[in-house]
Chains A and B, each alone.
Chain A
Amino acid sequence: MIKKSHSLLKFHGVRGSRPVHASGFLGYGGNTTCLEIETGFDFILAIDCGTGLQHISRRLRLHPNRKKIHILLTHTHWDHVLMLPLLKELANPELEVSIHAPDIGSKTFSELFETMLKLGRLPIPKAQIKCKLTFHRIQPGQTFLLEGKVKVSTFQVNHQHITLGYKIGLQDGCIAVITDTALLTADNILGQGMNERALLIGPKNFEKEYNQGLIRFLKGVDCLVFDTHFNEDNLKPNWGHATPDLAINFCIKSGIKRLFLFHHAPEDNDDKVAIKQEYARNLALHRGIQVINAREEDEWPILSA
């Protein structure tokens, strides 16, 4: 039986590190991280505010009846936040923007955003924020409801600061988004607070705890968006990024049947990104895992037909 899906995953920016515009890169797109989940409810749900956010900005102008946005931030590196203060719609008094983000060091994201506005580095006149802007501090291992309807769970992944992976439970499926993470081993522990935990229980025990925790977190997920910035040949583990091999490994162990390769390196042109997909499909062969390259402005149902 084919189950009809209402929830959609939309890719607005699929690049990691920095935006890139050049011939040979237009096929998969050059904007940095921004995804949207069409939940079937009346609010927009976005993940991260890389330059791909400009697609949502454009749509908001075309559909001014959309009055509410929830933004889940994975972390605060430029490729995930740069467009937020440049979002023109922050000047719309009819819009409600709720930002859910982890603390970074001793600062809340609300404080960091205030700093972004106050530094005098924004290439626009002093931001006139007239929308109803609210900030929600979230933590690793937390579960909360958006508008009482959409269940969101978080997991701290292996990347600088506190970087969150999100699992989003929808009416007709479940998606997990892990934009930036590296293989965690006893000698490659990157996240804020992780080393303290590793010291407490021992690095090897922490490695086991983390990896088993992430596998548990991903159980029951219908589709996974996962960092595949590197491949096994050019991997720099301490940069905090992963490979298709790691992504597929987690799919196998968590029983996930659909994988989107994401956070394409800005150095990788369309041909290289296509080769990555082919490589990953070969890895997933006979595993029953559908492997798809994330491509800017593609839309996918959360559940495959």
Chain B
Amino acid sequence: MANSVRIKFRGVRAIHSAPGHHNQTTGGNTSCIQIDDGSSTIFVNAGFGISAAGSDIMSARSTTGKNVDVSILFSDFLWDSTIGFLSFAPIHFKSSKIQIVTGSTVATAIDGLDDAASPFFSPFENFRGLSAKKSFIQIHEGLKIGGWDVSGLLTNNPLTPYGATIWRLKNNKGDDIGIVMLCDRSEDTLAKVGNFLSGCKTLICAATAHPEHDSWSEHRTGFEEALTLALAAKTEALFLTHFHPELDDVILQEELIKLKLSLASMRKDNPSVKLSIYLANEIEDISLATSTLIKKAI
């Protein structure tokens, strides 16, 4: 039976949105990844990319009549990971069930989302007052969501006092996805994360930091760190995402070429390295049947 897991990059930008022609190929919404396996829908982060997902889900609901039931895994509660939920249509319907999953405490999650829905900055009173039925889970040992076994590793990160969670999703069909959206690039943290992700077949990793374009590179992974993690985990497919808003389509393609050259050079010494590298983008999905990007039917 064909693998039905589809991963959509609803938003590929870190820090702030970057809409415009210069990002036409890659995308300009803040981060959100949607993972569908036919029986469950999981999001990672709720940047502005989640808005379009909400519209699609509500359109589908009008056809199927099924109430919305989704989980959102948060890597962190910085604003580029949270503010989009205000425009996620299902959250404004009482019939929707939304499970918030965090590596940090439930109180931290509620505070983080309440801050984003502050009455000073939004037309709402707080997150808790939004209509959907909301539940909160702090991940410890592991969690079952649909057909997925979900585990999380909470890491220290000076950007956020509440830490940043690295996610791993496995199912009984052999799919194994690691997701790194915010990760300090200290050797110690990278080693822990590499160990946690060891053996994952597909790695989705932030490539935010950039020596020329990012004056905020500290405490984030860039292209090189993403490759380091992929090699440490012995992954087969690396999808780069969570790009700095100033890295436009042209710069990103250049960085991808540099990284592929670097990988080719490594292969001379170690031909057993089997890794494909892709730039995630908001136009194409990943099919886990082939671990490649496929064009969306528009």
Contacts and interface: CB of A to CB of B under 8 A. Distances in A.
Interface of A: 17-23, 25-26, 29-31, 51, 54, 76-78, 81-83, 86, 88, 91, 104-105, 107, 112, 115, 119-125, 160-161, 239-240, 266-267, 296
Contact of A121 (B17, B87, B112, B298): B112
Nearest to B19: A30
- Which of B14, B84, B215, B283 is the most central at the interface, judged by chain A CB atoms within 10 Å of its CB? B215
Given A82-B79, A122-B78, A19 B123 contact: no
Contacts of A266: 51, 87
Contact of B20 (A23, A26, A78, A239): A26
A51 B16 contact: yes
B23 interface: yes
A124 B15 contact: yes
B218 A125 contact: yes
B218 A30 contact: no
Given A20-B29, A120-B161, A29 B20 contact: yes
Contacts of B116: 121
B159 to A, nearest CB: 6
Given A78-B83, A83-B16, A104-B120, A22 B77 contact: no
Interface in B1-29: 14-21, 23-24, 27-29
Contacts of B17: 19, 21, 30-31, 51
B48 to A, nearest CB: 6
Given A26-B20, A51-B16, A121-B112, 4 more contacts: A31-B17, A31-B20, A122-B79, A239-B123
B120 A54 contact: no
B221 to A, nearest CB: 14
A19 B215 contact: no
Contacts of B24: 23, 26
B158 A22 contact: no
Main secondary structure of the interface of B (DSSP, over half): loop
A239 B123 CA distance: 8
A25 B69 CA distance: 29
- Which of A29, A107, A122 is the most central at the interface, judged by chain B CB atoms within 10 Å of its CB? A122
B219 A54 contact: no
A30 B16 CA distance: 12
Contact of B215 (A26, A88, A296): A88
Contacts of B16: 51, 54, 82-83, 86, 123
B35 interface: no
Interface string B16-50: 11111101100111000000000000000000100
A123 B29 contact: no
B282 A22 contact: yes
B160 interface: yes
B162 A21 contact: no
Interface string B70-83: 00000001111111
Contacts of A83: 16
Contacts of B14: 123
Given A18-B84, A20-B51, A81-B121, A121 B77 contact: yes
A30 B121 contact: no
A115 B29 CA distance: 25
B22 to A, nearest CB: 10
B282 A18 contact: no
Given A54-B16, A121-B115, A123-B14, A78 B48 contact: no
A18 B245 contact: no
21 contacts: A20-B48, A21-B17, A21-B19, A23-B24, A26-B20, A26-B24, A51-B17, A51-B18, A82-B16, A83-B16, A86-B16, A121-B112, A121-B116, A123-B78, A123-B79, A123-B216, A124-B15, A124-B159, A124-B216, A125-B219, A266-B87
B52 interface: yes
A17 B215 contact: no
A270 B19 CA distance: 14
Given A29-B20, A125-B159, A19 B245 contact: no
Contact of B48 (A19, A54, A123): A19
Contacts of B80: 123
A19 to B, nearest CB: 4
B120 A107 contact: yes
